[in-house]
Amino acid sequence: MNRSVATPWLLVAPGALLFTGLVLVPLVLTVVLSFLAYDHTTGIQDEWTVAHYVHVLTDGYYLAIFWRTLRLAALTTLICALIGAPEAYILSRMGKPWRSIFLLVIIGPLLVSVVVRAFGWSMLLGSTGLVNAALQAIGLGPVRLLYTETAIVIALVHVMLPFMVIPVWTALQKLDPMVEAAAWTLGASRFTALRRVVMPQVAMGLLSGSLIVFGLSASAFAIPGLLGGRRLKMAATLVYDEYMHELNWPLGAAIAILVLVANLVIMLAYNRAVEARARRTLG
């Protein structure tokens, strides 16, 4: 029988079906939807149009939201890298019981729902919250935090940090600890050794961490929804509003596709730029 020919197809079939059913079909439907005309009184029409795309790309309101999404996602990624990389380094240098304990501390928040954590932050950052009470106590407050971009970034960093720490930590695990010692013995200070020897080798971990954090931040929904309030929208909340409040599904679909494409382009470009450099030296 042609068993050997059929086997690989049978083996990929479950995965392929899952992928087709859960990703490909909805995506195609969304693309189709985004090209359908819409009328406020009669709803979705049976004719094709690119009006939604033109509308979104020429209206300053939408562009501002896209720009904010991009900016906040990039800022979150940067802060996560600045906090996550040292955190991963310290973690990798920890002794036996502490390493597992602190790894759990870092991963722990993932076990709590994002919605719950967002509400937690809104309580902390509110006008009568703990942060403002503390700021007032030292004579710096009150400061408006909730429903600002600051609140969104703080909460996003908190949620995304494990996605940065874990890839960097994995990269550090693969590092020969003696390589750093070798740099010291050659006259490098601790800082120089980190910068010249350790950092270039964890670049790949930092890259994958950045891609995950950026992608998740740019499409985050619950945090901007709960901490940004009604006015401070990001891409995902905008799409939600178009679908659920305006009921203009084709416009929502067009925005979703645009966000997807933009995200994809940014991530691929970033990946190419960093990976090409790392590949050349690390192989």
| Six token digits for residue 119 | 């509400």
Region binding other proteins by CB under 8 A among candidate stretches 172-180, 215-223, 233-241, 246-254: 172-180
Residue 197 binds other proteins (CB under 8 A): yes
CB count in 10 Å sphere of residue 85:
23
Quote the CA–CA distance of 10 and 41 in Å, as a whole number. 48
Q: How far is the CB of 174 from other proteins (least distance, A)?
A: 10
Q: How far is CA 159 from CA 20, 146, 176, 211, 259, in A?
A: 29, 17, 30, 15, 21
Residue 187 binds other proteins (CB under 8 A): yes
Q: How far is the CB of 97 from other proteins (least distance, A)?
A: 13
Phi–psi pair at 36, nearest 5 degrees: -90, 145
Q: How far is the CB of 282 from other proteins (least distance, A)?
A: 6
Nearer to other proteins, 111 or 178 (CB): 178
Alpha-carbon Rg for the chain in angstroms:
23
Strand, coil or helix: 45: strand
Instruction: List the alpha helices (DSSP H) in 108-198.
Output: 114-125, 130-137, 149-173, 177-185, 190-193
Q: How far is the CB of 59 from other proteins (least distance, A)?
A: 47
Q: How far is the CB of 203 from other proteins (least distance, A)?
A: 8
Nearer to other proteins, 205 or 250 (CB): 205
The residues pairing with 48 across neighbouring beta strands, listed in sequence order, are: 36
Region binding other proteins by CB under 8 A among candidate stretches 37-45, 120-128, 237-245, 275-283: 275-283
Out of 176, 230, 231, 276, which residue is the one contacting other proteins (CB under 8 A)? 176
| Six token digits for residue 230 | 């009604």
Residue 18 binds other proteins (CB under 8 A): no
Residue 188 binds other proteins (CB under 8 A): yes
Give Dmax (Cα) for the chain.
Answer: 82
- CB proximity list for 144: less than 8 A, separation 6 or greater: 127
Q: How far is the CB of 198 from other proteins (least distance, A)?
A: 10
- CB < 8 Å & 24+ apart, contacts of 175-178: 175/92, 175/201, 175/202
Out of 76, 77, 201, 237, which residue is the one contacting other proteins (CB under 8 A)? 201
Q: How far is CA 102 from CA 80, 81, 113, in A?
A: 17, 18, 20
Residue 77 binds other proteins (CB under 8 A): no
Nearer to other proteins, 131 or 183 (CB): 183
Residue 17 binds other proteins (CB under 8 A): no
Residue 283 binds other proteins (CB under 8 A): yes
Quote the CA–CA distance of 72 and 214 in Å, as a whole number. 9
Out of 181, 244, 247, 261, which residue is the one contacting other proteins (CB under 8 A)? 181
The residue count for binding other proteins (CB under 8 A) is: 20
Nearer to other proteins, 27 or 182 (CB): 182
Q: How far is the CB of 180 from other proteins (least distance, A)?
A: 8
Return residues touching other proteins (CB under 8 A): 176, 178-179, 181-189, 192, 196-197, 200-201, 281-283
